[in-house]
Structure 1
Amino acid sequence: MDTKRAELTARNFPSAQEDAHAVPAAERYASPDSAYRLAFTDTEFLLREELRPVRMQLELLKPEMVQKEQGITSTIVIFGSARILPPDEAQRRLDAARAAGDAQAVARAEKALAMSRYYDEARRFAALVTLRSRDLDTPIYVCTGGGPGIMEAGNRGAHDVDGKSIGLNIVLPHEQAPNPYITPQLCFQFHYFAMRKMHFLIRSIALVCFPGGFGTLDELFEVMTLQQTGKIRRRPILLFGRDFWERLIDFDHLVDTGMIDAKDKHLFHYVETAEQAWEVLAGEYGFDAAPTVTGEFAVDI
């Protein structure tokens, strides 16, 4: 009886996987220039210029489907420079520069060591988010660009406390290997910047920016523009290191010259520590609020 019932829901056609692994073509049609291959197994065909829309759709679908399967619904995205070093590495480079007696190298290394505090803060923040949200109905997962520097620190912080984290890598002219702290099932690689930036936002409940260069600024200003224009819902944007950001971007000048409204300065918050950043997020979302004791359907006052 069970067998007969199973027949009612059995596949009527072979799966794509089954056909893809079927017996290969006869030798006459097995050469690289043969058109006999299935279209979805033909890499050369998929890489043709005309197939760009298909490739973009694949870059949208693959991370979306995998994250759904992994139960990822909410993320906090950490942006920041790939060039910021872990403190121990920064100290090692400073010691080497001093030993070599190179004054310019020493000055650069001293600056790198000072900036390395942001690596530690990003690592602590990622660990804090992972730990504090672990028992929420909707856990929050750290998401980074998957590379070195601040990105590595974010993934490393989650890894330190046995948490999952996401890395959205991208192919660049200079090789960017994924850092070793990303959860392997959540380590993605992109060709299109636009698709990558979309995935940063799809599940994000907050964006946290540490000091960075062109890439970080590109990501930050795209998010602020989308929020300013109402294209996406408002979510907290946290800028780590007020001194760095105020020296880099004169928001008051933008207001004074009429380039932005004064209210646009409320799109972001300055923070200095992991704890302060969590406090802002907890205030926004009520993470640390006591659970209601007035019933399942009661409204908390």
Structure 2
Amino acid sequence: MTDPVPPKSVFSPARVEAEVARHQTSSPQTEDPAYRLAFQDLEFLLRQDLRPVRFQLELLKPELLLDEADIASTFVFYGSARIPEPSKADALIQNAATDNQRRIAERLKAKSHYYDEARSLARLASRVGRDADGKQHFVVCSGGGPSIMEAANRGAADEGADTIGLNIVLPHEQLPNPYVTPSLSFQFHYFALRKMHFLIRARAVAVFPGGFGTFDEAFELLTLIQTGKIKPVPILFFGADYWRRVVNFEALVEEGTISPNDLELFQFVETAEQAWDHVCTYYAESDIQLDC
């Protein structure tokens, strides 16, 4: 005689309860919104008062799905949504209508090689195998959009690896790029929750030339490490000329607003190989087997 196996719960699953609720007899009482199950009532969930609940749901949903996919750590890619793939860079210049547009298009073309570097770095990161517990490490994670984000997800897809996209609802439509693993393609309403998910599993971060969004993400990361809120990770700024032109880091030290040691929180690199070598050196003492 086998030992009895108790049920996981004595309560009916919420899915079953929801199905029963849909088939109740219609009456003035059952048709009123007040009678809806709270988790089926979209108008209720979207009330201003429910914002804390929506925060919690937006934090919890990706967390559960990433756990179920056995993703233990990620390699995060930040960067512009405007830098073109090299093969498409000339089209930007040809479509320029003014001298100023042409100058900007030429500058974007000059940065187009970073698309290839992001793709190459993602390939290297995606060759890291699972650990003894079957967990995935250095899974490529991007904002899920075009340009540098697309290149990162594309590099992982080249290796047949899972890759994450964290999209955000914007006034202008931004669909996930086609290289994101569908079951790991998430959409966020709150920037704060999206940025938290970028960093929860991050064990290395590549920062490519970008604008306000890239600045926001990269400098929040630096602030969190500077203030001891999170442990240090390799932070790799691609393109020293670009970053030193748009941010005078040394001036921040000279003005006394950051300390000289803060400049050691990140490294300037130019190629995927340089970036990956730095990550390998950083984690040389870990149990994770990197293909270096």
Q: Same fold (TM over 0.5)?
A: yes
Q: Which residue of 2 aligns with 1:12?
A: 10
Deviation at 1:265, TM superposition (A): 0.4
Please give the alpha-carbon distance, in whole angstroms, between the structure 2 residues aligned to 1:129 and 1:287. Answer: 17
Deviation at 1:24, TM superposition (A): 2.1
1:17-36 alignment, distance < 5 Å: 17-22=15-20, 23-28=22-27, 29=29, 31=31, 33-36=32-35
Deviation at 1:135, TM superposition (A): 5.3
Moved more, 110-119 or 215-224: 110-119
In the TM superposition, structure 1's runs of 4+ consecutive aligned residues that sit over 6 Å from their partners are 287-291
1:82-231 alignment, distance < 5 Å: 82-97=81-96, 103-131=99-127, 133-134=128-129, 137=132, 138-231=136-229
Report how many aligned residue pairs link the two structures. Answer: 284
Q: Report Cα offsets for 1:167-211 as digits up to 9, x if no partner.
A: 111111121111111001111111111111111110000111000
Please give the alpha-carbon distance, in whole angstroms, between the structure 2 residues aligned to 1:141 and 1:290. Answer: 13
RMSD of the TM alignment (CA)?
Answer: 2.2
Q: Which residue of 1 aligns with 2:235?
A: 237
Q: Does the residue aligned with 1:27 lie in a helix, a strand or coil?
A: coil
* Contact map agreement 1:282 1:288 (CA 8 A) in 2: no
Q: Does the residue aligned with 1:83 lie in a helix, a strand or coil?
A: coil
* Contact map agreement 1:142 1:154 (CA 8 A) in 2: yes
Please give the alpha-carbon distance, in whole angstroms, between the structure 1 residues aligned to 2:8 and 2:230. Answer: 43
Q: Does the residue aligned with 1:206 lie in a helix, a strand or coil?
A: strand
Please give the alpha-carbon distance, in whole angstroms, between the structure 2 residues aligned to 1:191 and 1:14. Answer: 31
How has the CA–CA distance of structure 1 residues 135 and 52 changed in structure 2, closer, same or farther, with 3 Å as cutoff? Answer: closer
Deviation at 1:110, TM superposition (A): 2.1
Q: Does the residue aligned with 2:64 lie in a helix, a strand or coil?
A: helix
Deviation at 1:134, TM superposition (A): 2.5
* Contact map agreement 2:208 2:238 (CA 8 A) in 1: yes
Please give the alpha-carbon distance, in whole angstroms, between the structure 2 residues aligned to 1:284 and 1:225. Answer: 20
Please give the alpha-carbon distance, in whole angstroms, between the structure 2 residues aligned to 1:13 and 1:136. Answer: 37
How has the CA–CA distance of structure 1 residues 11 and 240 changed in structure 2, closer, same or farther, with 3 Å as cutoff? Answer: same
Q: 1:270 aligns with which of 268, 271, 280?
A: 268
User: Can you give the 5+ residue segments of structure 2 that lack an aligned partner in the other structure?
Assistant: none
- What's the TM-score, normalizing by structure 2? 0.91
Please give the alpha-carbon distance, in whole angstroms, between the structure 2 residues aligned to 1:130 and 1:287. Answer: 20
Q: Report Cα offsets for 1:104-153 as digits up to 9, x if no partner.
A: 4433332221111111111111111102x135555320111111111111
Please give the alpha-carbon distance, in whole angstroms, between the structure 1 residues aligned to 2:131 and 2:10. Answer: 43
How has the CA–CA distance of structure 1 residues 231 and 290 changed in structure 2, closer, same or farther, with 3 Å as cutoff? Answer: closer
- Structure of larger gyration radius: 1
Q: Which amino acid in 2 is paired with 1:127?
A: R
Q: Report Cα offsets for 1:252-293 as digits up to 9, x if no partner.
A: 1111111111011000000000000000000000189998xx
Deviation at 1:95, TM superposition (A): 4.2
Please give the alpha-carbon distance, in whole angstroms, between the structure 2 residues aligned to 1:30 and 1:146. Answer: 42
* Contact map agreement 2:33 2:41 (CA 8 A) in 1: no
Q: Which amino acid in 2 is paired with 1:42?
A: D
How has the CA–CA distance of structure 1 residues 143 and 259 changed in structure 2, closer, same or farther, with 3 Å as cutoff? Answer: same
Q: Report Cα offsets for 1:88-112 as digits up to 9, x if no partner.
A: 1212333455xx8x54443333222
* Contact map agreement 2:74 2:203 (CA 8 A) in 1: yes
* Contact map agreement 2:239 2:269 (CA 8 A) in 1: yes
Q: Which residue of 2 aligns with 1:295?
A: none
How has the CA–CA distance of structure 1 residues 44 and 112 changed in structure 2, closer, same or farther, with 3 Å as cutoff? Answer: same
- What's the TM-score, normalizing by structure 1? 0.88
* Contact map agreement 1:281 1:287 (CA 8 A) in 2: no
